[in-house]
Amino acid sequence: MNQALYLTASHPAAQAMLLAAFGLFGLCLRRYRTAAVFCALGGLWITLCAMPAFAGLLKLGLENQYPRYEAATYPTADAIVVLGGGDSPSFGASSHVGTGTSSVQATRAGLGLELYRESKAPIVLLSGGDGEAVDMAHQLEQQGVLAQSLKVESTSVNTYQNALYSAAILRHEGRNRILLVTSSWTMSRAAACFRRQGLEVIPAPAFDRENTRRALSWQPQRASLAQSGRWLHEYIGLLVYKLRGWA
């Protein structure tokens, strides 16, 4: 299953339409009860996925095994590996050591910077295609990270390739123990991929900031459909990666 296919399959609207299609098929077979059940399930599913609280539960299921820590509390490693994606940090007065779980540390590059400043590893390896890794390297260098401490892997287009190409760089330098930085909700898949490459992984998830009041609401909202699709995409992605032997 390719990226575009399971991205489409992860959207609640597509899933609801599939259930409705089963319902129509049952109707054609004059299985009226079966048809009614599938159509009802489709309506119920898309309504449930439109609820902010349900979208929040889906996300919690992805990140609940990775607690939120301050950069200073992590153990040391051979390298800090930061995956591309997510928001770009807005470095400013809050980006110095000791900010804890600040708005800077809520981004991948920001947390990587904090870990480096806390001397948790001598190098930072930035992984991501489409210029993501290069952009992060420029940002970190402007924040005082030594150029010789930065490594860039800029050809990967997915998490599997992040792990595959980064592991090759790390093995060449004799580095095995890494602090892996990515978004909290993608950590399960990312950590599994890097461990599959034989690396010792210490997860260092970056947690975004949520509107808690909105997340507790059970009133359907259109924006929550996209959020639910995003989290469902990650669940499906993890399953696909496991089936392909990537994670």
Interval 228-242: pLDDT, tens: 999 999 999 999 999
> How many whole angstroms from its chain centre is CA 18?
26
Q: What token pair was written down for 214?
A: 């909105």
Residue 180 bridge partners (DSSP): 81, 203
- Residue pointed to by tokens 């609207």: 13
pLDDT value at position 241? 96
Residue 5 makes CB contacts below 8 A (sequence gap 6+) with none
User: What is the rounded CA–CA span in Å between residue 43 and residue 58?
Assistant: 18
Neighbour count for residue 141 (Cβ, 10 Å): 13
pTM: 0.85
For every residue of 172-218, DSSP letters joined together read HTT--EEEEEEEGGGHHHHHHHHHHTT-EEEEEEEPPP--HHHHT--
For residues 93 and 132, the answer to whether their CB atoms sit within 8 Å is: no
pLDDT value at position 9? 76
User: What is the rounded CA–CA span in Å between residue 216 and residue 202?
Assistant: 31
User: What is the rounded CA–CA span in Å between residue 94 and residue 114?
Assistant: 11
Higher per-residue pLDDT: 122 or 5: 122
For residues 179 and 199, the answer to whether their CB atoms sit within 8 Å is: no
Residue 183 bridge partners (DSSP): 206
User: What is the rounded CA–CA span in Å between residue 182 and residue 190?
Assistant: 8
Q: Which residues of 192-208 are buried (b: 16+ CB within 10 A; e: fewer)?
A: bbbebbebebbbbbbbe
- Residue pointed to by tokens 């940002």: 139
What SS3 class is residue 167? helix
pLDDT value at position 10? 81
Residue 210 φ then ψ, to 5°: -115, 155
Tell me: pLDDT of 7 over 80.
Answer: no
Tell me: pLDDT of 100 over 50.
Answer: no
Residue 127 bridge partners (DSSP): 83, 153
Average of per-residue pLDDT across 119-130: 97
